[in-house]
Chains A and B, each alone.
Chain A
Amino acid sequence: MQRFINNPDLVVEDTVKGFVKAHSDIVRLAENPRVIVAKDAPFAGKVGVVTGGGSGHEPAFIGYTGKNMLDAVAVGELFSSPTAKSFHDAIREANGGKGVVVLYGNYAGDNMNVKMATKLAAKDGIEIATVVANDDVCSAPPEEREKRRGVAGEIFMWKMGGAKAATGASLEEVRATAQKAIDNCRSIGVGLGPCTLPAVGHPNFQIEPGTMEVGIGHHGEPGVRVEKLKTAEEVAKDMVKIVLDDHNLPAGTEVAVLVSGLGATPLNELYILNDTIESEISARGLKIRKTWIGNYFTSLEMVGATLTVMALDDELKTLLDVETRCTIIL
């Protein structure tokens, strides 16, 4: 294992320290060192927007803290949900008196810890709404969408929810917009190489050379099928097909596209994938309004990429254009 770490058990602590030093113009650390807060939050009269999740996905989740995005983020261990206490503290930090919406992924730990945190926050008199992301197509069949994992589509959910909150909308309006955003998202991941938790010291799954895992999860959850590694063009076609077959969008629909590396895939390969992704999406009669390409939601040093497509209506188009001021340009 060739990694830049000090102590494998303090990876998250050290990450947060470096992050806060780099971005003190945008974020601050809460009293709870596992909570990152937008510098000037809470904002009176604005619905607070909160998320949280395991570490190892940087820039997610902390990197999306900032103006017109997330007000506070609860930070977990690597690939492990934050504590109920951290979610609770994040909610308190984000509370500007108009309620707080918690926008998070569909993982057993997050579900439990958010549930406990919302109970604690209710005792403080804070009104809470939640939206659970479930954009990962391969993690469950369409009739069991509520079981699907939340992956990179969460970024669109945060951006739409954060932008809506910035308009001064009510808690219910922000919740409804974030829910619509994630309902309009579909994602797929393809893995070419595994990742290693430093404290474990060896990869927790293997991908045989010459093969790929289609539908791989953000924590190395094995994909739905393993097959021979194909050309980028064939992989991209497959990714678009899986996402859009599930999405079933009418021709002429405008979409936003996010292609994210999983941590160890060079950016140029994402562009190679995108060359085909864009052609394939256009060939289906859809109009791409905006594309983001980069390491937006990673899985430590996993080799691979994800594709997320969000269908846009008039409201989402407007919100998509709202500028954010977080550590990642969106």
Chain B
Amino acid sequence: MQTFNNASSGAIVLSMSERIVENRAYLSEIDGKIGDGDHGVNMAKGFGMAAERLKGKDVALAESLDTLGTVLMTEIGGSMGPLYGVMFTEFAETIQGVDKIDAAAYSKMLHAGLAGIQSIGSAKVGDKTLLDTLVPAVEVFDKATADGKSFGEALEALVVAAEAGRDSTIDLVAKIGRASRLGERSLGVLDAGATSCAIILKELSDGARARLA
């Protein structure tokens, strides 16, 4: 059975932060089409601050995720601060103390993050939010493992589903958040939260896959 080491995987959060910071302008640009254009700025600020605190420290994935979640929750605000803050702190709490993370633990982690988001937000799949990326990604991961796929294959499937979920938001009308006031005018544009969520899930899952043993 494939697993990856919690203790030696803290750097996944650093590479996730790098991707978010790289995409600062892109995320703000797509946010600006139907929102106020600050998604990339705030995400880069939060992930960058977390990376600063983690740099040079050899900490486990659980601790890195907790640092990231705490920074987002206490320093960033907006909608994304609490939403991603809750997701990452739930991720961290679920895998805390798990030495070797297998597919079951990974699934449990994803579900805890999703439940955390749903406890503070009121969005559903199809509302043009980050849930349109996260929910199908979790479902596809669970289905792959239930179908007997390896952890590695399930992680690959997760990334594909996350990106397909992100792309599905182009054809959705925003039902929640600032873009929802636009109704039909929000069609034809990616949702910024769904886009950043796809980046996060890809980095997390690719990072895990590269460390499988």
- For residues 200 through 223 of chain A, which have their beta carbon under 8 Å from a beta carbon of chain B? 200, 204-205, 217, 219-222
Which A residues touch B120, using CB under 8 A?
112, 115-116
**Which segment of A72-80, A122-130, A175-183, A315-323 sits at the interface?**
A72-80
Bound together, the chains give a CA A80 to CA B36 distance in angstroms of 9
Shortest C-beta distance, B188 to chain A (Å), equals 14
The answer, yes or no, to whether A85 is at the interface (CB within 8 Å) is yes
Quick one: CB contact mask for B60-93 with A, threshold 8 Å, 1 for yes?
0000000000000111111111110000000000
Bound together, the chains give a CA A108 to CA B130 distance in angstroms of 14
Q: How many A-B residue pairs have CB under 8 A?
A: 97
Quick one: CB contact mask for B158-186 with A, threshold 8 Å, 1 for yes?
00000000000000000011101110010
The answer, yes or no, to whether B126 is at the interface (CB within 8 Å) is no
Which B residues touch A197, using CB under 8 A?
36-38, 41
Residue of B nearest to A219 (CB): B36
Known: A80-B42, A113-B77. Contact between A200 and B37, CB under 8 A?
A: yes
Asked whether B73 lies within 8 Å of A84 as measured between CB atoms, the reply is yes
Which A residues touch B81, using CB under 8 A?
81, 83-84, 109, 113
Residue of B nearest to A76 (CB): B77
Known: A83-B74, A200-B32, A205-B32. Contact between A108 and B79, CB under 8 A?
A: yes
Known: A149-B181, A222-B185. Contact between A112 and B42, CB under 8 A?
A: no
Shortest C-beta distance, B176 to chain A (Å), equals 7
- For residues 109 through 128 of chain B, which have their beta carbon under 8 Å from a beta carbon of chain A? 120-121
Residue of B nearest to A138 (CB): B181
Bound together, the chains give a CA A77 to CA B37 distance in angstroms of 13
Quick one: CB contact mask for B38-62 with A, threshold 8 Å, 1 for yes?
1001100100000000000000000
Bound together, the chains give a CA A79 to CA B28 distance in angstroms of 13
Quick one: CB contact mask for B19-39 with A, threshold 8 Å, 1 for yes?
000000000100110011110
Residue of B nearest to A115 (CB): B120
Asked whether A108 lies within 8 Å of B176 as measured between CB atoms, the reply is yes
Q: Which of B36, B83, B182, B185 contacts A204 (CB 8 A)?
A: B36
Asked whether B178 lies within 8 Å of A219 as measured between CB atoms, the reply is yes
Bound together, the chains give a CA A115 to CA B122 distance in angstroms of 12
Asked whether B28 lies within 8 Å of A217 as measured between CB atoms, the reply is no
Interface residue tally on A, bucketed by range? 20 to 34
Shortest C-beta distance, A120 to chain B (Å), equals 11
Asked whether B78 lies within 8 Å of A81 as measured between CB atoms, the reply is yes
Which B residues touch A219, using CB under 8 A?
36, 178
Which B residues touch A260, using CB under 8 A?
none
Shortest C-beta distance, A193 to chain B (Å), equals 16
Which B residues touch A54, using CB under 8 A?
78
Residue of A nearest to B82 (CB): A112
Asked whether B32 lies within 8 Å of A76 as measured between CB atoms, the reply is no
Asked whether A200 lies within 8 Å of B28 as measured between CB atoms, the reply is yes
Residue of B nearest to A9 (CB): B45
Residue of B nearest to A83 (CB): B77
Which B residues touch A116, using CB under 8 A?
82, 120
Shortest C-beta distance, B32 to chain A (Å), equals 3
Which chain B residues have a beta carbon within 8 Å of chain A's beta carbons? Answer: 28, 31-32, 35-38, 41-42, 45, 73-83, 120-121, 176-178, 180-182, 185
7 of the cross-chain contacts (CB-CB < 8 Å) are: A54-B78, A80-B77, A81-B77, A86-B77, A109-B82, A140-B181, A197-B37
Taking A109-B77, A139-B181 as known contacts, 10 extra A-B pairs with beta carbons closer than 8 A to each other, sorted by chain A number, are: A77-B38, A78-B38, A82-B77, A108-B178, A115-B120, A197-B37, A197-B41, A200-B28, A204-B35, A204-B36
